[in-house]
Amino acid sequence: MYCILSKVDYCNSVLVGISGNLIRQLQSVMNAAARLVFSAKSSDHITPLLRELHWLKVPERIQFRLGVLFYRCLHNTAPAYLAESLQLVRDVHARRRLRSAESMKLIVPATHCSTLGDRAFPVSAARTWNALPSSVRAAPSLATFRQKLKQTLFLQSFPDQ
């Protein structure tokens, strides 16, 4: 089962901005895996099963991987070429006095092409990171960050819980 999830999760940070149709196809694979775990019928509602397994939906899984990758960039445990493409507001001399400099926010680079430019790592990582609550961004360790991020995204996936 986890073999299927690892295939869905493999490099899914590059899936930022893909079409809704492709997201639905990946979600369908995850739904089938959840039904297999519980031996549920295809007519059974999937949300309670995903919630019980504590699995994030595909868009949130993509955000999770992207957030973790950026956290690793911020703490110098990711490849240098990725870390170099990101810039904190506090690192720009002209913006050091802004309130956003204290909140560990990123500068979102301007893009010319919304279909491809918005999917670039510096843009998508900055947007994902800036959308996170400050309590998640300020996590002291990767394990704590992953836990807080998953809780936040889980509540986003299943808001009625």
For the beta carbon of residue 158, count every other beta carbon within 10 angstroms: 16
Give pLDDT tens digits for 104-119: 777 777 777 666 667 7
Tell which residue, 136, 80, 140, has the closest CA to residue 105. 136
Where do the structural domains in the chain lie, given as residue ranges?
1-6+16-55, 57-161
Give pLDDT tens digits for 52-98: 999 999 999 999 998 999 899 988 999 998 888 887 776 665 666 66
The answer for residues whose C-beta is within 8 angstroms of residue 15's C-beta and 6 or more apart is: 22, 23, 26, 62
Which is more confident, 39 or 8? Answer: 39
Instruction: State the average pLDDT over residues 12-36.
Output: 86
Mean pLDDT computed over every residue of the chain: 84
The predicted pLDDT at position 16 comes to 80
pTM of the model: 0.83
Which is more confident, 153 or 7? Answer: 153
Confidence category of residue 27, pLDDT binned at 50, 70, 90: very high
Residue 160 scores a pLDDT above 90: no
The predicted pLDDT at position 87 comes to 76
Which is more confident, 84 or 9? Answer: 84
Beta carbons of 133 and 63 less than 8 angstroms apart? no
